[in-house]
Amino acid sequence: MGGEPSKPDPKPNPELETPWRRIDWGQKEELKKRLEKFSVRNPDVKDIRILVAGQTGGGKSSFINSVNNVFQGRITSSAIANSSSGASHSFTTNLKKYRVRNEDDDLPFSLIDIMGLEAGEMCGSQTEDIINAIYGHVKNNYKFNPEEPLSDKSEDYKSDPLLSDQAFCLVYVVDANTVSNTYESLTDKLRIIRTRCSENGIPQVIVMTKVDLVCPLVSKDLRKIYTSKKVREKMQVCSDKIGVPMNHIFPLKNYSEEIDTDDDADVLILKALDQIVNLANDRLRDADRLRDAASN
């Protein structure tokens, strides 16, 4: 009789006690210098091409700009990004190559921006166009046609691309805020691309953007990114949907509202890029080995 009212269950802690992925937040300059001294394994390839694909509005172009921001120490806008929220169609319509630069020189890797993927069959970039772009068949500035992929009969098709025309890593840029609700038809497209690339050993990495929008902890402190249960959950969903292992998924925050760069954001971007360019360089070495074996 007259017992004390029961207390509501406490809210579950959104944060892990220890980071599930270790990261040294003081390694910005070390990573930056290592990438600036990066050496391509093949003398015929001056810059390793990395294809950046992903859903419309996911932050492809912003990621390309963010990479350049890190090396130039300021906010840049080489790749024009769409700031409209809820954009339904890709702002990028042409294949565009962006050479990564520091304050003084071009660095030995390039990021290739393409039309975004959309859920509809006749919307956004076609899977065949992305695959053709990876293998160097698509000329720079080619304007994608959402209704018809590039044909080998087109003047924009390179029938015999050089090694330097090919991409040696595919980066999917995925919006953490919408990954759980991604249309099945869009993930089907990603799976097709993944399968075709895997057949030829092209490494694939996921860059997960907008992590600050899915977790208040991370919004307040970016260093909470690897103790956030919500961010880890979103990464797992992404891995399950697309099939890329967790150790090839890199959550980060693109530059969008800022007018100055931030060391913590830079470390996450550099850590992802370091993994990407080394995977690409390994693939280039394997391509050399296969070519040499075929000629003997």
Q: What is the DSSP string of 179-217?
A: GGG--HHHHHHHHHHHHHHHTTT--EEEEEE-GGGT-HH
Q: How far is residue 222's CA from residue 10's CA, in Å, rounded to a whole number?
A: 25
Residue 52 above 80 pLDDT?
Answer: yes
Average pLDDT on 83-102 reads 71
Q: At 9, is the pLDDT very low, low, confident or very high (cuts 50, 70, 90)?
A: low
Q: At 78, is the pLDDT very low, low, confident or very high (cuts 50, 70, 90)?
A: confident
Share of the chain above pLDDT 70, in %: 85
Reported pTM: 0.88
Residue 182 above 70 pLDDT?
Answer: no
CB crowding 11-36: b at 16 or more within 10 Å, else e: eeeeeeeeeeeeeeeeebeebbeebe
Residue 122 above 50 pLDDT?
Answer: no
What are the structural domains of the chain? 44-80+89-295 (3.40.50.300)
Q: How far is residue 222's CA from residue 217's CA, in Å, rounded to a whole number?
A: 8
**Over the Cα atoms of the chain, what is R_g?**
20
Residue 36 above 90 pLDDT?
Answer: yes
Residue 294 above 60 pLDDT?
Answer: no
Average pLDDT on 81-88 reads 51
List phi, psi (to 5°) of 117.
Answer: -80, 140
| pLDDT at position 296 | 46
Element (H, E) at 30: helix 28-36
Q: Closest Cα partner for 114 from 137, 7, 84, 291?
A: 137
Within its chain, how far is the Cα of 112 from the centroid?
11
Across all residues in the chain, what is the average pLDDT? 85
Q: How far is residue 63's CA from residue 181's CA, in Å, rounded to a whole number?
A: 22
Average pLDDT on 104-127 reads 78
Average pLDDT on 150-179 reads 90
Work out whether the CA dihedral 75, 280, 202, 237 comes out positive or negative: negative
List phi, psi (to 5°) of 11.
Answer: -65, 140
| pLDDT at position 5 | 61
Kindly report the number of other CB atoms within 10 A of residue 220's CB atom. 10
CB 261 within 8 A of CB 282: no
Average pLDDT on 187-198 reads 85
Q: Which amino acid, one-letter code, is at 296?
A: N
Average pLDDT on 179-186 reads 71
Contacts of 37 (CB under 8 A, 6+ apart): none
